[in-house]
A and B are shown apart, each in its own frame.
Chain A
Amino acid sequence: MAKMAGKQMFVEALKREGVQVIFGYPGGAIIDLYDALDQDGTIKHILVRHEQGAAHAADGYARASGRVGVCLATSGPGATNTVTGIATAYMDSVPIVVFTGQVPTALIGNDAFQEVDIVGITRPCTKHNYLVKDVKDLPRVIKSAFYIARTGRPGPVLVDIPKDVQNAKAEFNYDEEIKLRSYNPVLDPHIKQIEKAYHLFEHCKRPILYVGGGAVISGAHEEVRELAELIHAPVAMTLMGLGAFPGTHPLNIGMLGMHGTYCANMTMANSDLILAIGARFDDRVTGKVDAFAPHAKIIHIDVDPTSIQKNVKVDIPIVGDCRKALQKLIKVIADNGRPTETWKEIFSPWWEQIHAWEKRHPLGYKKDPNVIKPQFVIETLYGMTKGRAIITTEVGQNQMWTAQFYKFDSPRSILSSGGLGTMGYGLPAAIGAQMAFPDRLVIDIAGDGSIQMNIQELATAMEQRLPIKIVILNNRFLGMVRQWQELFYDRRYVATDFTFTPDFVKIAEAYGATGLRATRPDEVEDVLKKGLETPGLVIMEFVIAREEGVFPMVPAGKATTEMLLV
């Protein structure tokens, strides 16, 4: 077999993995890989303006498409700039592979120029990582990296490649099957556990399906729907689960948790059986754990055994792929023959109660003819796009209003940093999503704070001619933090009031994009309409009610039934 340089192996391996696009930023320690990419010419490289943007863009690409996202950064500061993006992907189980250049092996450990122990730094926030010291290992390492990133509970994998390894030569063998004796994710759930789970359904009166991001990742949306309809059970979703079950479905009772609906939280709290599907009982969902769903038995399906029993005690653990588990459960239920009508009848008192909760405190907000309400902007946007769009969000109130007032009917249509809550995620993620789906409408819903965290990526989007639409809900506050200060710190607005805000319309124009602004409610529709119709990148700024809050809200550390309502 002919010998090949590490840098060519890199390109060849990426091609074999089916990689079409990668996001990155060059530097001395990675210049050789760049050169090889260019020489080959098959893989499209997107030059970002900050390595954090590259990692988020790879993440957005992965979340939107279900494929592995790839990013590339140089050693030292390039590598450390990716860390927030890596941690974001880690928390939300997003498959990305990050390649970083490293100083030559002979200099490792010598505090060489732009040297940093990125493998050490990212150890706690990657699913796995590698420092490649010998070019002979490179093909196997890259192949393993992709395999580990996308299988089991997906996650980020980092591969650090010293400069001399990029240039050293060895044989390239990529055909060997990857077998990692110490890594064997369990995908097939145990049928005994499924049968036990079914048994609980047979005896319950007040069930709830609690659906999380794992359902989206495993592609279980059809199964969630089938199960819900089969037994006529209410479905509540986490932020990460939105889209795993149609937001417009009559069995949908909304999002759970800190800013979930009153109805979803009350339903969960009063249920006697919770079926958790790829959801991890995050503290934002359970509230005070001791007071969480006191009468419920819990069935928990998750591909990652560590998620089960981590925060709450579980009666029936089911380790495996959510989709496979649901298929089996549906079959067991169908085989046992209780028809949907019967389930409906049995659960009808439960539904009466649920509808009563729904009626008592529906999601809503106080309309105002003089000032723009952010919820109104989102509602109107939903009305115009009817769920066709891929929505990315930043973090804060903008994120929660989006989750509450936009209805997501299909999976992978909301990309949002759930676990880490990373401001600055939305714009680069939108770039990734738009690269994956050039023909779809991609919208980043942002706060005026968050958008400024990776605003430099406007240049990337412009350079690539990506027609991303950005909706900025401008309250001139770090709104979500301000809300906490309002409620729990006697309105002492410390370090949350922006005394200076840039002119976002001019920013758009400076980048060569279109900028639009609405300051009055009667302008909202026009601006949205014009913004969506205008080709190319558009920033739509909405000057909103400064002190609007996100409600309902469960104060941190309180039981989910102790909600602050509108």
Chain B
Amino acid sequence: MKHTLSVLVENNPGALSRIAGLFSGRGFNIESLCVAATLDPTLSHLTLTTSGDDLIIEQIIKQLNRLVDVYKVVDVTEEGAYVEREMALIKVKAEAETRAEILRMCDIFRCKVVDVSPRTYTVEVTGPKTKIDAVVELLKPIGIKEIAKTGVIAMSREKKSL
């Protein structure tokens, strides 16, 4: 099963490679990884998606916690209510006949066109992974020239915080 982990880690050099190294060294898989500093500049927030059965996820969380630099680990998937976002920039072929269709789709999915050139539109789409996948699927037939995606970032709902 897929799990999204929220990790607070000391903003120290090497902390990220320690985490990445833990996954590769122990044969766990990282599906996506997003990191940035938090309001407290000494801590970084890292969202990591991975998959495995309960025992593997338990090991991953314990192993992360064992790292001297890791402050806190929360399995937001396990906590229940959480929001999850991913962003993609998609450069699509835009010819006279398809321009209107692209714009219509952007409208339906609340995407933004952030760059226009004589032959392309660049579309920004934000949302849960499923939405991004849907947009990509719809744009594919029109012709995707390039795509850049962030990994997932996530947060528990309500008062729960890291």
Contacts and interface: CB of A to CB of B under 8 A. Distances in A.
Interface of A: 119-120, 123-124, 127-129, 131, 148, 180-183, 304-306, 309-310, 313
A251 B53 CA distance: 39
A181 B71 contact: yes
B59 A119 contact: no
In the complex, the 9 A-B pairs of residues with the closest C-beta atoms, listed nearest first: A182-B71, A128-B68, A306-B62, A183-B68, A305-B62, A124-B25, A306-B63, A306-B66, A182-B10
Contact of A305 (B66, B67, B71): B66
Contacts, number: 39
Nearest to A129: B14
24 contacts: A120-B14, A123-B14, A123-B17, A123-B18, A123-B21, A128-B68, A128-B69, A129-B14, A131-B13, A131-B14, A148-B68, A180-B68, A182-B67, A182-B69, A182-B70, A182-B71, A183-B68, A305-B66, A306-B59, A306-B62, A306-B66, A309-B55, A309-B58, A313-B55
Interface in B1-49: 9-10, 13-14, 17-18, 21, 25
Contacts of A309: 55, 58-59
B68 A182 contact: yes
B56 to A, nearest CB: 10
A13 to B, nearest CB: 19
Contact of B21 (A124, A131, A181): A124
A321 to B, nearest CB: 16
Nearest to A124: B25
Contacts of A131: 13-14
Interface string B64-78: 011111110000000
Contacts of A180: 68
Nearest to A128: B68
A120 B68 CA distance: 16
Contacts of B58: 309
Nearest to B54: A309
Given A123-B21, A124-B21, A309-B59, A304 B66 contact: yes
Contacts of B14: 119-120, 123, 129, 131
Interface of B: 9-10, 13-14, 17-18, 21, 25, 55, 58-59, 62-63, 65-71
A131 B17 CA distance: 14
A92 B21 CA distance: 20
Contacts of B67: 182
B37 to A, nearest CB: 15
Nearest to A183: B68
> By CB atoms of chain B within 10 A, which of A128, A148, A182, A183 has the most?
A182
A310 B66 CA distance: 14
Contacts of A183: 68
A306 B26 CA distance: 12
Contacts of A127: 68
A97 to B, nearest CB: 14
Contacts of B17: 120, 123
A310 B59 CA distance: 7
Contacts of A129: 14
A304 B67 CA distance: 11
Contacts of B71: 181-182
B18 to A, nearest CB: 6
A402 B152 CA distance: 54
Nearest to B65: A305
Contacts of B25: 124
A129 B17 CA distance: 12
A317 to B, nearest CB: 10
A123 B68 CA distance: 12
Nearest to A185: B66
A38 to B, nearest CB: 32
A79 to B, nearest CB: 16
Given A128-B68, A131-B13, A313-B55, 13 more contacts: A120-B14, A123-B14, A123-B17, A124-B21, A127-B68, A128-B69, A129-B14, A131-B14, A148-B68, A182-B70, A182-B71, A305-B62, A306-B62
Contacts of B18: 123
> By CB atoms of chain A within 10 A, which of B10, B55, B59, B66 has the most?
B66
A129 B18 CA distance: 10
B20 to A, nearest CB: 10
Contacts of A181: 71
A128 B12 CA distance: 12
A197 to B, nearest CB: 20
> By CB atoms of chain B within 10 A, which of A128, A131, A181, A306 has the most?
A306
Contacts of B68: 127-128, 148, 180, 182-183
A232 B36 CA distance: 56
Contacts of B10: 182
Nearest to A144: B68
A254 B117 CA distance: 78
A127 B71 CA distance: 16
Contacts of A148: 68
A123 B25 CA distance: 10
A445 B66 CA distance: 35
A182 B46 CA distance: 15
A148 B67 CA distance: 11
A275 B59 CA distance: 21
Contacts of B55: 309, 313
A182 B58 CA distance: 19
A128 B65 CA distance: 13
Contacts of A305: 62, 65-66
A527 to B, nearest CB: 46
